[in-house]
């Protein structure tokens, strides 16, 4: 199948993928733009998984200040080389993460950082909410687990839906950047400021 150059260019602008990767994805999906984008996303996740064990000793501290001057965030994001740390795509990524932090106010970076006593307290609240429901214990347990997952997605940065693309979490956004930039990237820490 012959793939139109305009279609390749459109896919590249949508995904940030290289020309050959975009062409191959379109060939795999018989010219379907959405399927090709999904193919690239899955391929990127696989690439990111391979790179996740590599050390990140470089990076940058990046600040985002909202236009009103009363809200902002700082993030420390690590990568493998200083070359990537100075790359425009990496800087734009850092800005997106800092903007997300300032807008959605996460409290923790990962689920593991959430204090156990806070998790137990939330679990207790969710369980009490279900007390008067005439449902089997295992169903109530699944509902409570679902509510806990939703709660995590509100307070944990890596589990929040990315502000610019609600279809992906911040963790998936990081993995997509690992795939497009070609180096391991980790968010080390963040701070949010608000007047």
For a pLDDT cut of 90, what percent of the chain falls above it?
51
- In this predicted structure, what is the pLDDT of residue 47? 55
Whole-angstrom distance, CA of residue 136 vs CA of residue 139: 5
Decide yes or no: CATH 3.30.479.20 for domain 58-109+156-194: yes
* Section 167-180 average pLDDT: 89
Measuring CA to CA, which residue among 190, 182, 191, 184 is closest to residue 17? 182
Note whether 181 and 87 are within 8 A (CB).
yes
Q: What is the mean pLDDT of residues 63-72?
A: 94
pLDDT at 49: 54
Q: Region 55-62: what's the mean pLDDT?
A: 88
Domain-by-domain residue ranges, the chain? 5-51, 58-109+156-194, 115-155
Considering only residues 87 and 134, tell me which one the structure prediction assigns the higher pLDDT. 87
Torsion angle in degrees (nearest 10) through CA of 142, 146, 147, 152: 140
Q: What is the DSSP letter of 112?
A: G
Burial class from Cβ neighbours inside 10 Å (0-12, 13-18, 19+) for residue 15 reads: buried
Q: Which fold has domain 5-51?
A: Helicase, Ruva Protein; domain 3 (1.10.8)
Q: Residue 181 above 90 pLDDT?
A: no
> What is the arithmetic mean of pLDDT over 46-73?
80
Domain 115-155 architecture: Orthogonal Bundle (1.10)
Burial environment of residue 177 by CB neighbours within 10 A (0 to 12, 13 to 18, 19 or more):
buried
Report the pLDDT averaged over residues 127-141.
81
b/e map 107-119, b = 16+ CB within 10 Å = ebbeeeebeeeee
DSSP labels for 136-169? -HHHHHHHHHHHHHHHHHHHBGGGSEETTEEEEE
Average pLDDT in the chain: 86
């Amino acid at each position: 199948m012959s793939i139109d150059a305009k279609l390749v260019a459109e896919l590249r602008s949508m995904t940030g993928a290289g020309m050959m990767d975009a062409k191959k994805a379109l060939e795999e999906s018989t010219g379907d733009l959405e399927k090709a984008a999904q193919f690239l996303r899955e391929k990127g996740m696989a690439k990111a998984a391979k790179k996740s064990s590599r050390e990140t000793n470089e990076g940058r501290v990046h600040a985002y200040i909202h236009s009103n001057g009363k809200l902002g965030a700082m993030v420390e994001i690590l990568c493998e080389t200083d070359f990537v740390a100075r790359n425009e795509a990496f800087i734009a990524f850092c800005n997106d993460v800092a903007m997300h932090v300032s807008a959605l106010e996460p409290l923790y970076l990962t689920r593991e950082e959430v204090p156990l006593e806070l998790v137990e307290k939330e679990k207790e609240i969710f369980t009490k909410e279900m007390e008067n429901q005439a449902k089997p214990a295992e169903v109530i347990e699944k509902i409570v687990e679902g509510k806990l997952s939703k709660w995590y997605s509100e307070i944990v940065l890596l589990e929040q839906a990315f502000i610019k693309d609600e279809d992906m979490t911040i963790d998936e956004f990081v993995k997509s950047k690992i795939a497009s930039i070609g180096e391991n990237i980790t968010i080390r820490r963040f701070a949010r400021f608000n007047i």
